[in-house]
């Protein structure tokens, strides 16, 4: 199996347009094939809607955007790692499982921090609205 992979040659993108096409294909693949990517995307949309509704400050927008794209980016890296590990071995290997678990843990940490940032930003707005 590994020998087959080493023998296979992957062609490089010929130009920037082709590189962007591959990148957009990756975004589409992640969204269509990864349940967690869809969850994070819809959560991001909810946060963006709340941001517009509450007219958050520029500083708050910066934190929200960095948090959102941090989580989405790590979710895609996690997906790439999981797929690469799956291609590398068809059998159970403890180190492969650890690599996949660590990548998933990175997404969990990013999502936790993003949630904290969201709560810190939005709780005062919700309190002001209801109290």
Residues noted as catalytic: 75
Q: Is residue 69 helix, strand or coil? A: helix
Burial bucket for residue 110 (CB in 10 Å: 0-12, 13-18, 19+): buried
DSSP secondary structure, 101-121, as one string? HHHHHHHHHHHHHHHHHHHHH
């Amino acid at each position: 199996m590994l020998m087959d992979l080493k023998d296979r040659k992957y062609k490089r993108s010929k130009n920037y347009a082709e590189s962007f096409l591959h990148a957009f294909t990756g975004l589409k693949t992640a969204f269509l094939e990864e349940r967690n990517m869809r969850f994070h995307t819809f959560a991001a949309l909810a946060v963006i809607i709340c941001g517009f509704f509450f007219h958050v400050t520029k500083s708050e927008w910066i934190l929200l955007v960095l948090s959102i794209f941090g989580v989405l980016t790590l979710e895609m890296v996690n997906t790439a790692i999981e797929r690469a590990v799956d291609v590398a071995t068809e059998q159970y290997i403890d180190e492969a499982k650890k690599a996949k678990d660590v990548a998933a843990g990175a997404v969990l940490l990013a999502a936790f921090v993003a949630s904290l940032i969201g709560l810190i930003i939005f709780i005062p707005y919700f309190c002001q609205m209801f109290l």
